[in-house]
Chain A
Amino acid sequence: MIGGLFIYNHKGEVLISRVYRDDIGRNAVDAFRVNVIHARQQVRSPVNNIARTSFFHVKRSNIWLAAVTKQNVNAAMVFEFLYKMCDVMTAYFGKISEENIKNNFVLIYELLDEILDFGYPQNSETGALKTFITQQGIKSATKEEQSQITSQVTGQIGWRREGIKYRRNELFLDVLESVNLLMSPQGQVLSAHVSGRVVMKSYLSGMPECKFGMNDKIVIDKQGKGGTTDEAGKSTGKQSIAIDDCTFHQCVRLSKFDSERSISFIPPDGEYELMRYRTTKDIILPFRVIPLVREVGRTKLEVKVVIKSNFKPSLLAQKIEVRIPTPLNTSGVQVICMKGKAKYKASENAIVWKIKRMAGMKESQISAEIELLPTNDKKKWARPPISMNFEVPFAPSGLKVRYLKVFEPKLNYSDHDVIKWVRYIGRSGIYETRC
C-alpha cells in the first residue's frame, strides 16, 4: 500500500511529508526531488521507479503531489487517491497553492491521518469529513452526535448525513457535455465523441430517494417493446440516444442499474457529479471548420478558414474561439475577418480569432497572410491542427433528461413540491481540424 505521501512546491521544497510505512525512509523525499522535480530531462512517466521505490505523482498548478511505495500496490487506486486528495483539499481551503498548503498544513496532516490509514484509503467524502475534521478544536459533541458521525463515516451512505433540513426543497441538474472532434482537412470525421457529465446540486431535506431518467435508447426500446404507450414510444424513440458507456457516483446502486438500467440513489447534499457518460453515435457537431492553407513561395503562407454553425437558428453559441497555428518562423501576419476579432499572438504561435456570439446555421470567414522568415531548417513545419472553443446551449449528444423523481417517505414533502432546474451546456473538448 501507499508508503508515504509528499507535497512539494515548484522548487522541490517539501511542504507536507507523511510516512505511513516503515520501508519508506526519509531519503525517499530527496530521491523524488532529485530524480523527478530536478531531473535534467523532463520525466516522461507519472510512475517512476527509483532505487526500488516507486513514485506516483500528479501536478496541480505548480504543486507536486507524490505517493511512494515499495510494494506492488494498485496503481489506479493510488492515482484515484491523489486526485481525491486534491478534491478534498480544494473543498476545505480552495485552490491548491503553496500559500494555501502552508497555511493549512495542520489541517492537511489531520486529513491525511484520517483518509489514509497505514496506506489504505479510508472514507474520503468531504461531506462526511467536514462533520468531524473542522479545525475548530474539539467540539463537545454529545454521545449521540459522536455515534452519528462514526456511523456515517463507516456506513452504507457515507456521503450524506442525517437530519438535513431545507425550507425550500430544490435541485439543479446540469448536463455538461464536451464534444470532441478530429477532422481531416477534407472534412472527413476521423473521430468524434461526446463525454458528458450530469452534475447535480441538491438541496433536499432528509434522506431522499431519487430516480433519474433520460432518453437512453436501451430503456426507451425496452419500454417500447413492453407496449406501454406505442405513441409515446414512437415519438420519443426517435430522439433516444445510444450511450456507449457510463459511470456513476458511488451513491448510485450499480447492481440495480445493471439489472434494470434504472438510476436510483440517495444523493449527497450540495454539488456532486451524478454520472459521466460517453457517446459516439449521431453526434451533432455544432461547428464545421473548413481550412485552406496555401504556401506561396518559401516566405509566405495564405490561410483561409471558414466556420459554419450547424444548429437551430434560434440558438446562440458563445465564447467562440478559433486558434490557427502559425509556423515558428512567422515574421508578420495580416488578418481580415468578417466577424469578431482576430489577433496574431506571437508568443503562442497562433492566430486567435474570437467571436462573442453566433447564431445557428450561419457562416463566417477569416483570411490571413503570413510572412515567413527564410530559414535553412530542413524540417518542415508540422502543421498542428486548427482548434476551436465554444459553448452552446444544448447537448451535442442529444441527451435529454426525462425525469428526476424524489421520494422522502419520512418527511412530508412530495415529488411535486421539489423545485427542479435542468440546464444543458455543450462545450468544445478537443475540437480539431487538421489542415
Chain B
Amino acid sequence: MTDSKYFTTTKKGEIFELKAELNSDKKEKKKEAVKKVIASMTVGKDVSALFPDVVNCMQTDNLELKKLVYLYLMNYAKSQPDMAIMAVNTFVKDCEDPNPLIRALAVRTMGCIRVDKITEYLCEPLRKCLKDEDPYVRKTAAVCVAKLHDINAQLVEDQGFLDTLKDLISDSNPMVVANAVAALSEIAESHPNSNLLDLNPQSINKLLTALNECTEWGQIFILDCLANYTPRDDRESQSICERVTPRLSHANSAVVLSAVKVLMKFMEMLPKDLDYYGTLLKKLAPPLVTLLSAEPELQYVALRNINLIVQKRPEILKHEMKVFFVKYNDPIYVKLEKLDIMIRLASQANIAQVLAELKEYATEVDVDFVRKAVRAIGRCAIKVEQSAERCVSTLLDLIQTKVNYVVQEAIVVIKDIFRKYPNKYESVIATLCENLDSLDEPEARAAMIWIVGEYAERIDNADELLESFLEGFHDESTQVQLQLLTAIVKLFLKKPTETQELVQQVLSLATQDSDNPDLRDRGYIYWRLLSTDPVAAKEVVLAEKPLISEETDLIEPTLLEELICHIGTLASVYHKPPSAFVEGSRGVQHKRLPARAGSGESSESPDVGQPGGAVPDTPPAVIPSQGDLLGDLLNLDLAPPASSAPTVTPSMQMGAMDLLGGGLDSLLGGDIAGSPAMGAGLASAPAVMPASLGAPVSSGLDDLFDLGGGVGMPTGAFVVPKTVWLPAMKAKGLEISGTFARRAGVMQMEVSLTNKAMSVMTDFAIQFNRNSFGLAPAGPLQVLTPLSPNQTTEVSLPLSNVGPVMKMEPLNNLQVAVKNNIDVFYFSCQYPISTLFVEDGKMERQVFLATWKDIPNDNETQYQIKDCHLNSDAATTRLQSSNIFTIAKRTVEGQDMLYQSIKLTNGIWVLVELRVQTGSPTYMLSVKCRAPEVAQLVYQCYEMVLKN
C-alpha cells in the first residue's frame, strides 16, 4: 500500500466522505482520513470545512497523527480563529507532557498558529518551556519567541521574553545558544536602534565558544551575528579573526562564506603592516577557490560574492585566474559570472592566457555568453594597454566569422577602444564599414555611426553612409537618433562644403519632426551653436573627449562596503542593498564597514579603502556605462583644444548664416540677440562660451559636472598690484602700468594710462603679439575721452584666448603694442597664470584619480612654500577664490593632504597635491600636469595667493 493514492482522489462528495472517515471510531481509518486531508491541502484544495473534525483527532497519543493534525492547524487556524481555540487545551496539556519531544512539538506548533486569542494562552507554556530542563525543548522555545514576536511584538516585550532569550545566550547547550542568537538577531532587525543583542567582549566570547560546538546551521547563525559586532580595537579584532579562521575549513559552504564575511569586515580594522594581516589575506584565497567545486547553485552564490571580494580586495585572488576559466559543462549562470571575474582579475601578467580563453568562448553556442565574451575582449583592451593590439586583431578575426551578433558586439567594443586609444587603430575602419548592413541592434548601429562621425575626415563616403541611416530616421531608437545627429554635425564641421544639406536635414528631423525632448534639445543646441558661432561649435562638438575609465560596471564604493557586510546573503547575490528587495522595516539598516583603527581619515578622502598610501594606486573609478548620451554631452563641458584657433572658410560662415535664416531665428531670436556671444562675432569668439553653454545643459546632470558657481564667480581672487610696464621715458610721455585679473569668468587686463607728456593723447589702440595661451583683446581698448596731460585713466580690457598661439619664454610672457596719436610703443609684461584658471576647473574625483595615475611621474614637480601660516582650510578658501579647486582632503598623521585641480583656458588640467603639516609653516607642493612647463608658474601663483 502506498500513500501516493491520496493525491489522486478527485471524486465528488469527497469532503463529505472524509468527514465521515474522520469521525470514524477506527484509529487506522482516522489516520488515513487525515492523510487524505493533508494531501488535498498540499495540492491546493480547500479543506477548511473539515476543521472541527480534524481538530477532534488531535487528542491522540499517536505522534504521527498528532503531527498531521498540527500541520492542518497551522494552515487553517488563521481562517477559522474561533474554532482554533478548541485546540488550545490540547496544546497546554501537551506542554506538560513528560515526553520532551511532545512538549517541544506543542510549543513549536503553537507559535505557528497566528491567532491572537491563542497567543495569549501561549505565554505561560512558553515561559515554562524556555526554562525547561531538556535542551531540545529550550531550543524550540527560543525560536518560538521569535515567532511570537512576529505576531505580537508588544506582548513579547511586556512578558519579558526578551530577557529570558538573552539569558539563553549563556546556556550550556550550544544548540540552544545558536537558536537564541538567531531569534535575537531577527528581533533586533525590526528594532534597529535597540541594544537588544548587546554584543560585548564577554558575550562575544561565549558565542565564539559555542561556535566550536554547535551544528553547521548554528555556526551560520552565530557567524552572521558576529558580523554585526564592531570590535573596540584592532587587537580584539585580531583575536576574533583568529578564532573564526578555522571555520574556513568547514564542509558547509555557508559556514565558509559567513566566516569570510566576518573576516573581511574585521580585517578593515587591522593595520596593514601587521604580519597577521598578510597571513589572513593568504588564508582567504584557498577556501574561496574551494567553493567553486561545490554544486552549481552554490558556485553561483560563491561567484557573486567573489565578484564583490575581488572589487574590495583584488590582492586576495589575483593569482587564481585559472580557476575561473569556464568549463564546457558549467551551467550558463556560472559561466557568465566566471567571465565577469576573469575580466576583473585580468592584468598585464595574465592577459595572454585570458585572451586565449576569451577567444575560445566567443565561438561557443550560447548567445548571451558569446556576447559577453566579445565584450570582455574589449574590456581587456581598455584595461591592459599592452594587450590592446592583440585584442583588436582578435576582434577583427571575430568580425570575419560574420556571425551577426558577434559582429555587432565587436563593433560596440571597438568604439570604446577608439575612445581609449585615439588615432591608433583607425586602419580597421574599412573592415567595420563592410558590415554596416548587418547591424540591426541599436547599440551596434549607434556605435558604428559614432565611429563614422568621429572619423568622418578619413572615410571618403562618410556622408553617403550617414545619409543612408538618415532615411529611416524616425524608425530608429533614440540612442541611434542622437548618435546620428551628433555624427552628422561632426561631419559638417569637418567637411562643411559638401554636407550642408545633410546637416540641415538632420537638424530639422530632430527639432521639428521628433517628439523626443532629448533629441529636440540636442538638435536645438547644435543648431544654435552652428548658427551663432561655427568656431565655438567646432570647439564644442569636436572637443577632446574625457578619459574613458578602465573599469566599468564597478559597484559604487559605499554600496560595495554595504554588500561586503552582507556576504553570503541574498543582497550579495543580487548586488543590491537589502532595502531594495525587502519589504517593511527589516533590512533597511545600512551596514557599514568599520573604520581602521588609528587613522583619522576624513570621509573626504578620495580613496576610502586605502589609507596610508600617499598616492591612490587603484582608483575606484566609476563611469556610467550608458555613456553614449552622457558622454556626448560631456563633450560640451570641455574647453577648446590647445591648438591654434581654427581658421574658418568663408563658405562655412555662409552655411552657418544660411542655417540661421532657416527658421531658427523666429524661435530663438530674442534669446540670441540678448546673448553676449551674438555680437562678438568671429573675431572675438568669447572665452566664456563653452561654460555658459555648459551650464544649462548640466543643470540636470550635477553628478557629471560640477559647475556650482562656475559662471559669475565673485571677485575674491587675488590680483597682483599694478606694476609699471612701460615707463614714460620710453614712450614719449605715456606711462602704462597694469595688472591682470579674472573677473566674473572673464580675463581682464587692467591698465592705467598716465599722460606725462605735454600734449593730449587720443586714438588709443592695443594689439598683442602671438603668445603661449593665445591671449587676445576681446574688444578695442576703450579710452573714451582724450587723455589730457597729467591725467590718468583706468581701463579694463577683456581678453579672449582665441588668438594665435606661439610658445613664449617665459611661458607667461606677453608682448604688447599700444598705439596712440603719437606713436606705437612696444613693451612686454608677464601675466600671472592664475588669470587663466577657469571657473569649471573642479575635476570629478574619479577623473582626478585616473588622471593623476595617468600622467607619468616624470611630469611631477615638487616645490616648497615657506613661511605660510594659513591652516589648510583657510588655504582652501583662498585658493578656491582663485579657481584652484580642492577636490578632496585627507588627514594622515596630522598632515593635511589637499588634492586640487586647475583648468587652464586652453583645456590643460593641472593637478596638485598640497601637503600642510599642522604647526609647520612649510607647505609641500606637488604639481602634475601633461604640460610640465606650467608647473613653475603654478608654483609662483600658489606663493602669491597664499602669502597675500
A residues apposed to B, CB below 8 Å: 1, 13-17, 19-23, 26, 29, 44-47, 49, 52, 54, 56-58, 69-77, 79-83, 99, 102-106, 109-110, 113, 117-118, 120-125, 132, 135, 137-138, 141, 143, 146-147, 149-151, 153-156, 158, 182, 190-191, 193, 195, 244-250, 253-255, 257-258, 273, 275-276, 278, 378-380, 382-385, 387, 430, 432, 434
What residues on A are CB-neighbors of B770 within 8 Å? none
The answer to whether A76 touches B581, judged by C-beta atoms less than 8 angstroms apart, is no
Interface string of B204-229 (1 = CB under 8 A from A): 00000000111111001100100000
Nearest A residue (CB) for B68: A106
Contact B573 A47 (CB under 8 A): yes
Chain B hits for A73, CB < 8 A: 569-570
State in angstroms the CA–CA spacing of A152 and B403 once bound together: 63
* Cα separation A21 to B249 with both chains bound (whole Å): 32
Asked if A120 meets B254 with Cβ closer than 8 Å, knowing A1-B186, A47-B570, A110-B64, the reply is: no
Q: Which residues of chain B have C-beta atoms less than 8 A from A57's C-beta?
A: 297
Instruction: Give B289's nearest chain A residue, CB to CB.
Output: A245
- B582's partner among A15, A71, A81, A99 (CB-CB below 8 A) is A71
Are the C-beta atoms of A249 and B251 separated by less than 8 Å? yes
Q: Is the CB of B143 within 8 A of A120?
A: yes
List 23 A-B residue pairs with CB atoms under 8 Å apart, sorted by A's residue number: A1-B182, A14-B43, A20-B112, A22-B151, A71-B587, A72-B582, A76-B254, A76-B256, A106-B64, A106-B68, A109-B68, A149-B101, A150-B137, A151-B136, A155-B135, A182-B327, A190-B357, A191-B325, A253-B212, A258-B246, A273-B251, A278-B290, A430-B329
Does B568 lie within 8 Å of A379, measured CB to CB?
Answer: no
Contact B249 A257 (CB under 8 A): yes
- Chain A interface main SS type: mixed
Given contacts A14-B44, A191-B323, contact A379 B287 (CB under 8 A): no
Among the interface residues B139, B217, B368, B401, which one has the most CB atoms of the partner chain A within 10 A? Answer: B217
Is residue B134 within 8 Å, beta carbon to beta carbon, of the partner chain? yes
Known: A44-B332, A118-B147. A83 touches B295 (CB 8 A): yes
The distance from the CB of A101 to the nearest CB of chain B, in whole angstroms, is 8
Q: Shortest Cβ distance from B68 into chain A, in angstroms?
A: 7
Quick one: which of B62-117 are within 8 Å of A by CB?
62-64, 67-68, 70-71, 75, 98-101, 104, 108, 111-112, 114
A191 to B325, CA, bound (A): 8
Asked if A247 meets B290 with Cβ closer than 8 Å, knowing A14-B42, A72-B587, A118-B147, the reply is yes
Q: Are A74 and B44 in contact (CB-based, < 8 A)?
A: no
**With contact pairs A146-B101, A245-B287, A382-B364 given, residues A137 and B3 touching in the complex (Cβ less than 8 Å):** no
Give A49 to B144 CA distance when docked, in angstroms.
Answer: 28
- Indicate whether A109 sits within 8 Å of B258 (C-beta atoms), given known contacts A137-B62, A380-B363: no
Quick one: given A14-B44, A379-B401, are A122 and B363 in contact (CB under 8 Å)?
no
Q: Do the beta carbons of B572 and A75 come within 8 Å of each other?
A: yes
Which chain A residues border B44 with CB–CB below 8 Å? 14, 17, 26, 29
B573 touches A258 (CB 8 A): no
Interface residues as binary, B183-218 with A (CB distance below 8 Å gives 1, 0 otherwise):
000100000000000000000000000001111110
Chain B residues positioned under 8 Å from A19 (CB to CB): 75
> Are A74's CB and B247's CB within 8 A?
no
A-contact bits for B394-424, CB 8 A (1 contact / 0 none): 0000000111000000000000000000000
Which of the 9-residue segments B170-178, B519-527, B624-632, B677-685 touches chain A? B170-178
- Distance in angstroms between the alpha carbons of A75 and B327 in the assembled complex: 24
Are B582 and A70 in contact (CB-based, < 8 A)?
Answer: yes
A258-B332 CB under 8 A given contacts A102-B7, A103-B2, A106-B68: no
CB of B246 within 8 A of CB of A255, answer yes
Residue numbers in A under 8 Å from B570 (CB-CB): 47, 54, 69, 71-73, 75
**Quick one: closest A residue to B66, CB to CB?**
A138
Q: Are B246 and A74 in contact (CB under 8 A)?
A: no
Given contacts A17-B44, A250-B251, could you give 15 more A-B pairs where the C-beta distance is less than 8 Å?
A14-B42, A15-B42, A44-B332, A75-B573, A77-B220, A102-B3, A105-B3, A109-B67, A113-B71, A120-B143, A137-B62, A151-B136, A244-B286, A244-B289, A276-B293
Contact partners of B99 in chain A: CB under 8 A: 141, 146
Q: Which residues of B contact A44 (CB under 8 A)?
A: 332-333, 336, 368
In the complex, chain A residues whose CB is within 8 Å of the CB of B863: none
Q: Contact flags (1/0) for B250-289 with A, using CB distance below 8 Å? A: 1111101110000000000000000000000000001101
Q: CB-CB < 8 A to B915: which residues of A?
A: none
Contact in complex: A154, B250 (CB < 8 Å): no
> Is B143 a contact partner of A137 (Cβ separation < 8 A)?
no
> Residue B365 at the A interface, CB < 8 A?
yes
For residue A267, give the distance in angstroms from its CB to the closest CB of chain B. 14
Q: A110-B64, A121-B217, A138-B61 are in contact. Are A72 and B571 (CB under 8 A)?
A: yes
A250 → chain B closest CB, angstroms: 5
| Closest B residue by C-beta to A156 | B213
Chain B residues lying within 8 Å of A54, measured Cβ to Cβ, are 570, 581
Q: Does B930 contact A (CB under 8 A)?
A: no
Q: Complex: how many Å from CA A434 to CA B327?
A: 11
B917 at the interface (CB under 8 A from A): no
User: How far is B43's CA from A16's CA once the two chains are assembled, in angstroms?
Assistant: 8
Which B residues are in CB contact (< 8 Å) with A69? 570
| Chain A residues whose CB sits within 8 angstroms of the CB of B586 once the complex forms | 71-72
- Give chain B nearest CB distance to A428 CB in angstroms: 13
Q: Is B146 an interface residue (CB 8 A)?
A: yes
- Is B39 at the interface (CB under 8 A from chain A)? yes
Which residues does chain A contribute within 8 Å of B333, judged by CB atoms? Answer: 44-46
- B327 / chain A contacts, CB cutoff of 8 Å: 182, 430, 432
B566 at the interface (CB under 8 A from A): yes
Cα distance, A158 to B136, chains bound together (Å): 12
Also in contact, A150 and B71, with CB within 8 A (given A47-B300, A103-B2): no
- The answer to whether the Cβ of B743 comes within 8 Å of any Cβ in the partner chain is no
Q: Is the CB of A246 within 8 A of B249?
A: yes
Contact A110 B67 (CB under 8 A): yes
